[in-house]
Amino acid sequence: MLYRLAADGLVLLHLCFILFALFGGLLALKWRPILWLHLPAAAWGVVVEVFHLPCPLTRWENLFRHLAGQDGYGGGFVEHYLLTLIYPAGLTPQIQLGLGALVLLINIAVYVRIFRRYGQA
Protein backbone atom coordinates (compact mmCIF):
# COMPACT_ATOMS: atom_id res chain seq x y z
CA MET A 1 0.00 0.00 0.00
CA LEU A 2 2.81 2.44 0.83
CA TYR A 3 4.53 1.83 -2.50
CA ARG A 4 1.31 2.55 -4.36
CA LEU A 5 0.82 5.76 -2.39
CA ALA A 6 4.42 6.72 -3.16
CA ALA A 7 3.84 6.06 -6.87
CA ASP A 8 0.61 8.08 -6.86
CA GLY A 9 2.35 10.89 -4.99
CA LEU A 10 5.08 10.93 -7.63
CA VAL A 11 2.46 11.23 -10.36
CA LEU A 12 1.06 14.30 -8.60
CA LEU A 13 4.56 15.72 -8.14
CA HIS A 14 5.27 15.05 -11.82
CA LEU A 15 2.15 16.95 -12.87
CA CYS A 16 3.02 19.85 -10.56
CA PHE A 17 6.53 20.01 -12.01
CA ILE A 18 5.17 20.03 -15.57
CA LEU A 19 2.76 22.84 -14.72
CA PHE A 20 5.54 24.77 -12.95
CA ALA A 21 7.87 24.35 -15.94
CA LEU A 22 5.14 25.62 -18.26
CA PHE A 23 3.66 28.42 -16.20
CA GLY A 24 6.08 29.14 -13.34
CA GLY A 25 7.33 32.21 -15.15
CA LEU A 26 3.93 33.76 -14.49
CA LEU A 27 4.63 33.43 -10.77
CA ALA A 28 7.86 35.36 -11.35
CA LEU A 29 5.81 38.29 -12.64
CA LYS A 30 4.50 38.75 -9.10
CA TRP A 31 7.29 37.15 -7.04
CA ARG A 32 10.68 37.69 -8.66
CA PRO A 33 12.76 35.27 -6.51
CA ILE A 34 10.83 32.30 -7.95
CA LEU A 35 12.66 32.76 -11.24
CA TRP A 36 15.76 31.13 -9.68
CA LEU A 37 13.71 27.94 -9.26
CA HIS A 38 11.74 28.31 -12.44
CA LEU A 39 14.57 28.88 -14.94
CA PRO A 40 16.24 25.49 -14.24
CA ALA A 41 12.84 23.75 -14.18
CA ALA A 42 11.87 25.24 -17.54
CA ALA A 43 15.29 24.41 -19.00
CA TRP A 44 14.95 20.81 -17.80
CA GLY A 45 11.45 20.59 -19.33
CA VAL A 46 12.72 21.81 -22.69
CA VAL A 47 15.78 19.52 -22.64
CA VAL A 48 13.74 16.44 -21.69
CA GLU A 49 11.26 17.04 -24.49
CA VAL A 50 13.75 18.04 -27.19
CA PHE A 51 16.29 15.29 -26.49
CA HIS A 52 13.72 12.64 -25.46
CA LEU A 53 15.46 12.05 -22.14
CA PRO A 54 13.85 9.81 -19.54
CA CYS A 55 12.55 11.65 -16.53
CA PRO A 56 13.76 10.26 -13.19
CA LEU A 57 10.27 10.70 -11.76
CA THR A 58 8.90 8.25 -14.33
CA ARG A 59 11.56 5.70 -13.41
CA TRP A 60 10.72 6.06 -9.70
CA GLU A 61 6.97 5.81 -10.38
CA ASN A 62 7.46 2.55 -12.24
CA LEU A 63 9.78 1.19 -9.54
CA PHE A 64 7.22 1.90 -6.82
CA ARG A 65 4.43 0.39 -8.90
CA HIS A 66 6.50 -2.75 -9.42
CA LEU A 67 7.24 -2.93 -5.67
CA ALA A 68 3.50 -2.54 -5.03
CA GLY A 69 2.87 -5.56 -7.27
CA GLN A 70 1.32 -3.55 -10.10
CA ASP A 71 2.01 -4.09 -13.79
CA GLY A 72 1.52 -0.54 -14.88
CA TYR A 73 -1.02 2.04 -14.01
CA GLY A 74 -4.15 0.71 -12.36
CA GLY A 75 -7.62 2.11 -12.39
CA GLY A 76 -7.53 4.62 -9.54
CA PHE A 77 -8.42 8.31 -9.68
CA VAL A 78 -4.84 9.49 -10.02
CA GLU A 79 -4.08 7.07 -12.83
CA HIS A 80 -7.30 7.68 -14.71
CA TYR A 81 -7.31 11.47 -14.64
CA LEU A 82 -3.70 12.54 -14.29
CA LEU A 83 -1.62 9.98 -16.12
CA THR A 84 -3.33 10.66 -19.42
CA LEU A 85 -2.31 14.32 -19.05
CA ILE A 86 1.31 13.42 -18.36
CA TYR A 87 1.56 10.44 -20.73
CA PRO A 88 -0.99 11.00 -23.53
CA ALA A 89 -1.67 8.22 -26.01
CA GLY A 90 0.05 8.76 -29.33
CA LEU A 91 2.89 10.89 -27.96
CA THR A 92 5.43 10.98 -30.80
CA PRO A 93 8.90 12.52 -31.01
CA GLN A 94 7.47 15.27 -33.22
CA ILE A 95 4.82 16.09 -30.62
CA GLN A 96 7.51 16.11 -27.92
CA LEU A 97 9.53 18.61 -29.97
CA GLY A 98 6.43 20.76 -30.29
CA LEU A 99 5.82 20.57 -26.54
CA GLY A 100 9.43 21.53 -25.88
CA ALA A 101 9.06 24.50 -28.24
CA LEU A 102 5.83 25.50 -26.49
CA VAL A 103 7.54 25.47 -23.08
CA LEU A 104 10.37 27.54 -24.52
CA LEU A 105 8.10 30.10 -26.24
CA ILE A 106 5.83 30.59 -23.23
CA ASN A 107 8.78 31.16 -20.99
CA ILE A 108 10.64 33.44 -23.38
CA ALA A 109 7.55 35.64 -23.62
CA VAL A 110 7.13 35.77 -19.84
CA TYR A 111 10.79 36.47 -19.15
CA VAL A 112 10.99 39.20 -21.79
CA ARG A 113 8.15 40.89 -19.95
CA ILE A 114 9.81 40.35 -16.56
CA PHE A 115 13.14 41.76 -17.68
CA ARG A 116 11.48 44.73 -19.35
CA ARG A 117 9.43 45.46 -16.25
CA TYR A 118 12.38 45.25 -13.87
CA GLY A 119 14.67 47.04 -16.33
CA GLN A 120 12.38 50.07 -16.28
CA ALA A 121 12.21 50.13 -12.48
In the prediction, which pLDDT does 34 show? 93
Q: Please, what is the average pLDDT of the chain? A: 83
Confidence of residue 99 (pLDDT cuts 50, 70, 90): confident
pLDDT above 90 (res 114): no
In the prediction, which pLDDT does 79 show? 59
pTM: predicted TM-score of the whole model, two decimal places = 0.71
Determine the Cα–Cα distance for residues 106 and 23; give it in Å rounded to an integer: 8
In the prediction, which pLDDT does 77 show? 45
DSSP 74: -
Task: Report the run of H or E that residue 62 belongs to, with start and end.
Answer: helix 56-67
Q: Is the pLDDT higher at 58 or at 34?
A: 34
Q: Show me where the domains of the chain are located.
A: 2-120
In the prediction, which pLDDT does 33 show? 92
Q: Cβ(71)–Cβ(81) under 8 Å?
A: no
Tens digits of residue pLDDT in 60-98: 888 888 898 876 555 554 555 567 777 778 888 888 888
HEC profile of 7-58 = HHHHHHHHHHHHHHHHHHHHHHHHCHHHHHHHHHHHHHHHHHHHHCCCCHHH
